[in-house]
């Protein structure tokens, strides 16, 4: 399955190496991601390692040397699949693995601005043969937990990077004030009605005083981060003293 596969003007090319291409069909055709791909802001190409097997059973996994539980993805189909892809000048080959760098907003921003091509390799079973790392330039994790497949973090990374590309989000200013842009969480937000059940919108937000609103929002960001994410709050505090 390819999305905007024939677009030479796409700013970033995503190559997903996955045993389950169908996993991406709905997410890549829905919401802002689907619209961005239709407008050729990026292109997505999916390659199945199973298509590169040479045995009659199309085997992509095998038991690990030395024993152990589970199966490992074999190196031959993964090497063949990755090596079949075109190579753009600024390319990163990313393996989705719990052992990798944890995803965060600075990583997404770097991938969105510094690369023309992102190859996302989705692991399965108990992981991949270690020799596959000879083709990998970065290992990335969704968090400190284990999932059944690498497709979930791959889709997360694609979404996080794609939304930062020019043209994906209509109001680009909104990207500047999101959570994590300044190591602070977002401030509380409200819409109509002004009162819902026993909860009312804070008076300051309906005051029309833009200076007071900005100050209230800043205070809320700081306090919310202090309470909910002390790790981020500590990092923010450190930057304030530098």
How far lies 121's CA from each of 50, 81, 136, 144, 213, in Å? 13, 10, 9, 19, 45
103 and 185 housed in the same domain: no
pLDDT at 5: 42
In a domain, 227, yes or no: yes
pLDDT at 172: 55
> Which residues lie closer than 8 Å to 78 by C-beta, 6 or more apart?
17, 49, 121, 128, 129, 132, 135
CATH classification of the domain holding 43: 3.40.1280.10
Q: What is the full DSSP assignment across 18-36?
A: -S-GGGGHHHHHSHHHHHH
Q: What is the full DSSP assignment across 220-232?
A: HHHHHHHHH-HHH
Write out pLDDT tens, residues 177-197: 555 668 899 999 999 999 999
pLDDT at 208: 97
**Regions of the chain short of the pLDDT cut 50:** 5-9
Write out pLDDT tens, residues 142-163: 999 999 999 999 999 999 999 9
Q: Domain boundary residue among 114, 138, 162?
A: 162
What is the C-alpha separation between 49 and 47, in angstroms, rounded?
Answer: 6
pLDDT at 8: 41
pLDDT at 6: 41
What is the C-alpha separation between 137 and 198, in angstroms, rounded?
Answer: 53
pLDDT at 1: 58
83 and 6 housed in the same domain: yes
Total domains present in the chain: 2
pLDDT at 9: 46
- What is the longest distance spanned by two Cα atoms in the chain? 72
Domain boundaries, position 80: 2-162
């Amino acid at each position: 399955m390819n999305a905007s596969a024939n677009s030479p003007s796409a700013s970033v090319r995503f190559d997903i190496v996955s045993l389950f291409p169908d996993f991406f069909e709905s997410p890549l055709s829905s919401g802002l991601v689907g619209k961005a791909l239709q407008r050729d802001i990026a292109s997505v190409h999916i390659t199945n390692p199973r298509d590169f097997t040479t045995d009659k059973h199309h085997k992509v996994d095998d038991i690990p040397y030395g024993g152990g539980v589970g199966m490992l993805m074999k190196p031959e189909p993964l090497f063949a699949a990755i090596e079949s892809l075109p190579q753009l000048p600024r390319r990163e080959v990313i393996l989705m693995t719990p052992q990798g760098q944890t995803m965060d907003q600075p990583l997404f921003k770097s991938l969105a601005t510094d690369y023309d091509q992102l190859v996302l390799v989705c692991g399965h079973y108990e992981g991949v043969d270690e020799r596959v790392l000879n083709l990998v330039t970065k290992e990335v994790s969704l968090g400190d937990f284990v999932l059944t497949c690498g497709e979930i973090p791959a889709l997360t990374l694609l979404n996080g990077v794609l939304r930062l590309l020019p043209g994906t989000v209509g109001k680009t200013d909104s990207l500047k004030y999101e959570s994590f842009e300044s190591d602070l969480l977002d401030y509380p937000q409200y819409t109509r009605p002004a009162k819902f059940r026993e909860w009312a919108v804070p008076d300051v937000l309906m005051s029309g005083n833009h200076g007071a609103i900005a100050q209230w929002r800043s205070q809320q960001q700081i306090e919310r981060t202090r309470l909910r994410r002390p790790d981020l709050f500590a990092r923010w505090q450190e930057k304030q003293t530098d």
